[in-house]
Structure formats: structure tokens, C-alpha cells
Structure 1
Amino acid sequence: MRPITVVLLALLGCLTALPALAEGPKMAVEKADFDFGQIFQGEKVEHTFRFQNAGDEPLVIDRVRSSCGCTAALLSTKIIAAGDVAELKATFDSARFSGAVVKTIYLYSNDPVQQVTELHMRGTVKQEIVMSPSRLDLQNLVVGASKEFAVTLSNQSKNPLALSGLQTTTPELTAVLSAEQIAPGGEVSITVRVTPKEGSGRLNGYVLLQTNSEHVPELRLPIYASVAPPASK
């Protein structure tokens, strides 16, 4: 066999070995699952998902939907030509979450085999400042009788945190802070005094505290209580 014939046969073999584009549009995601690891509550995570039209006809993205309003998604283009690559930029806002989370983004397309493609952002949201308890739900307080309750603030970060501007939203509540700074891994306490007044069977209010944390600039302690009239003499 002549050398030139051998070369031509080898080239032909390489060409026939190349993967052919699928018939019609076809969604092919580079990596559908993104693990962002561990972040502090209040941080935002951004990630770009890449996907290709592995078909031989244009892939059309009809719409994009997120599992909740905490996750925003921005698509680079809605029509992807055969063989082309597109991107979806996703942003997760962890402000209202703690613990393990999984957020899902749904891509609706004209792929006849897989009309809905799921993309996932997952990880763990850790609280920078842990308030314990996170709320006071008090029962059977008596008008005119004061009661005190202790709330602990723990610093879970690696930086000292400054506290300021302690206040309450109703005169029936007063609060005292044990220190204005929490060392990393340290704790401070808030002593809350509740003195119900006449005129209502329920007490609702908040203790508010400012911090220098960029993730949690304000702490809010909700307080709810049922109030009974004073005992008759």
C-alpha cells in the first residue's frame, strides 16, 4: 500500500471518530452542580454556569426560574446556535438562611429530550453572630411586675465585633449590654427587662442592636408576651 494511501485512510478514520452533533437542539451543561462551601449569613455567592448546544439546530431558552427570590440568574443569550456555548450567571443571597442550603435554577428550553434543565447551588450558611435564644416568647406576665431574661450573643467569626446603639421599640422593654465588643469565639449578654403595662393582653416589641459586621449590620430580638391583669386584693 502506498504511503499517501495510508495517510488518507488514517485521516478518514479520525474524521469518522469525531462525535456528531445530535439531531435537533440539545442542552449539554458543563457542570450542573456548584458547591460554594461555607459562608457567613449575609454574604452573596456568584457563580457562572456554562452550557453548550450539542445539537444541530438552534437551542432556545424559553425562560429561567429560580427556586426562590434569594437566587438571581442572568442569561448571556436566549438563542444558542449549534455547537455554541452560553453562560448563566447566578447570585445567591444568604441573608435569610442558615445551615445546609440547596438552591435550584430551572432552564426551560426546546430540547426535545430534556425540556427542563436543573442547575444547583449548594453549601452551608453559618451565622457570624449567634443569638440565643433568637426570640423571647413569654407567657402569663403580670401587669406592673417586672421580669428579666438573659440573651447570649456569640461571635462565630475570626474578627472582633463592635456593638452599639442598643434600643427597644416599646417603653415596656429595657435592655442592658454586658460589653460593647465580642472577641472571636467570645460571648456577651443582653439583659432584657419586661414590665407590662395595663391596657393590653399582649406585648410585642423588639430589642435592636447595631454591629460593625458587613454581613449582619443589625440584630433584632423579637419579644412576644401574653399579659395578665394584676391579682385582685
Structure 2
Amino acid sequence: MWAYWVLFLLLFSSTSAFATPALVVEHLEYDFGEVIQGAEVSHTFRFHNAGDQILNISQLRSSCGCTAAMLTTRKLAPGAIGELQLTFASQGFRGEVEKMVTFETDDPRHAAVTFHLRGKVKAELLLQPERINWGVVTKGAGLHAEIDIVNRSTQTITLQPPEITAAGITAEMSHLTIVSGEQARLAITARFPEGKKRLAGYVIINTNFPSLPQIRVPVSARLAHQ
């Protein structure tokens, strides 16, 4: 009788030792193709617990504040299904993008799982070029650059006069209204403030265009060693 009792305890202990949660994910990546700048992209990732213990999810984090993540549950019973909904706000982005969201689990084989959203954002208000970097310049050199702001949308876009975030930078627009298919020119000039060897700031232009309500142009240069 004692031997049977010992055998039962051994079997029970063995079964408990191997009881673990097991995360199974349908897919880890989603390509949303191409969207117009300003659009929101949403996708739901599904997963389930194929183990025989409760699956605990923690430490949900996104690679960017532009991507919201929502879990249906953080505790998944054996056999249960969970969902992770991601929403990417494309405002201010252009070109190829990839956003990631990660959560941690107590599945020993999947301690951390990362989901990917990727695709292309098509801008309708373009800057050519997008930034001004004069690099290393000599003292007294004239710093001047021009940027074309191109309207590829179907509406007329109104710009506000440029604002500057750093001393030594000035900016002027050729005009503040850009009809569909046309462009305006932003002229930027700069000089190093007295005693400064580095020039860095932004030219900021607010717009009435919902997809890009604010244009930010980085401007930088460094003074060569004398």
C-alpha cells in the first residue's frame, strides 16, 4: 500500500513539473501596404494558450508613441484565445515605416514576443530637401539654402509665417498659400551667434493641412577649427 502511495506522489509531482503555459501566435508581422499620410492603420494579432497552465502577459510596450496597443486580457486560461490590437497614426511620417510592440510572458519558450507593423506612408505635402545641414563651414561663410514645399494633395494649403527656435537662423516664405499641384519656396539663411561654434535649430511652419499640421525643418552647421 505504501508503495502505491509513493508511486502516486511521484506521478503527480512529475505531471505538475511539466505543466506550463504555451503561447501560440497566428502571425507576428502585418504589412499594411501604402496609406496616405495622416491615416490610421489598425490590425489585430491573435494568439492562444496551448499549454495546461494559465499564461500571464506583462510589460506591454511600444517602440513609438504613434502606435497604440491594447490587449483583450493579460491572463489566458489553457485553450483560451487572446488578441492584441495595434493602431498606428501615420501623421507626420513618410516613406517606409516599421513599428514594433513587445510583451513578456511566463511561457519559458517565449519570454518576450515582438509584433511588427510595416508599410509605406505617402506624403501629400513634401519638403525637398527635408533638412538643411551645412556641415563644417569656415568662419564668415555665407549660409543660405532653399526648400521647395510641394502640395500633391487635392486641396489648397495655407501656411503660417515661419517660426525659429534658435538664434542666428532666419527664414522667409515665397508665399503662404499653395494650391493643389503647386509649390512654395522656403529660403533659410544663418550665421553663427557670437562665441558659438555650433548652430542648431528648427524652422517651424504651422499649416491648415490635417495630415501634416506642422512642418519642422532641422537646420545645423559647425564652425571649422581655426
Q: TM-score, normalised by structure 2?
A: 0.71
**Cα gap change, 1:53/1:151 in structure 2, threshold over 3 Å: closer, same or farther?**
same
Note the alpha carbon deviations across 1:88-108, whole angstroms, 9 max, x for none: 222334456442222233333
1:60 equivalent in alignment to 2:53:
no
Structure 2 gap ranges (5+): 1-18
Q: State whether residues 133 and 152 of structure 1, in contact with CA within 8 Å, keep that contact through their aligned partners in structure 2.
A: yes
Which residue of structure 2 lines up, in the alignment, with residue 39 of structure 1?
A: 35
Q: State whether residues 127 and 148 of structure 2, in contact with CA within 8 Å, keep that contact through their aligned partners in structure 1.
A: yes
1:119 to 115, 122, 125: 115
Q: State whether residues 42 and 85 of structure 2, in contact with CA within 8 Å, keep that contact through their aligned partners in structure 1.
A: yes
Note the alpha carbon deviations across 1:150-177, whole angstroms, 9 max, x for none: 2111224343322123233467444332
Q: State whether residues 94 and 122 of structure 2, in contact with CA within 8 Å, keep that contact through their aligned partners in structure 1.
A: yes
Which residue of structure 2 lines up, in the alignment, with residue 181 of structure 1?
A: 177
Which residue of structure 1 lines up, in the alignment, with residue 138 of structure 2?
A: 140
2:213 to 188, 213, 217: 217
**Cα gap change, 1:77/1:135 in structure 2, threshold over 3 Å: closer, same or farther?**
same
* RMSD (Å), alpha carbons: 3.2
1:28 equivalent in alignment to 2:24:
yes
Letter in 1 for 2:145: F
Compute the displacement of 1:211 (Å).
Answer: 0.7
Identity %: 37
Which residue of structure 2 lines up, in the alignment, with residue 168 of structure 1?
A: 164
Q: State whether residues 140 and 225 of structure 1, in contact with CA within 8 Å, keep that contact through their aligned partners in structure 2.
A: no
SS of the residue aligned with 1:212? coil
Letter in 1 for 2:182: G
Which of the two has higher C-alpha Rg? Answer: 1
Q: State whether residues 146 and 196 of structure 1, in contact with CA within 8 Å, keep that contact through their aligned partners in structure 2.
A: no
Structure 1 gap ranges (5+): 1-22, 229-233
Which residue of structure 2 lines up, in the alignment, with residue 154 of structure 1?
A: 150
Measure the CA separation in 2 of the matches of 1:187 and 1:109.
51
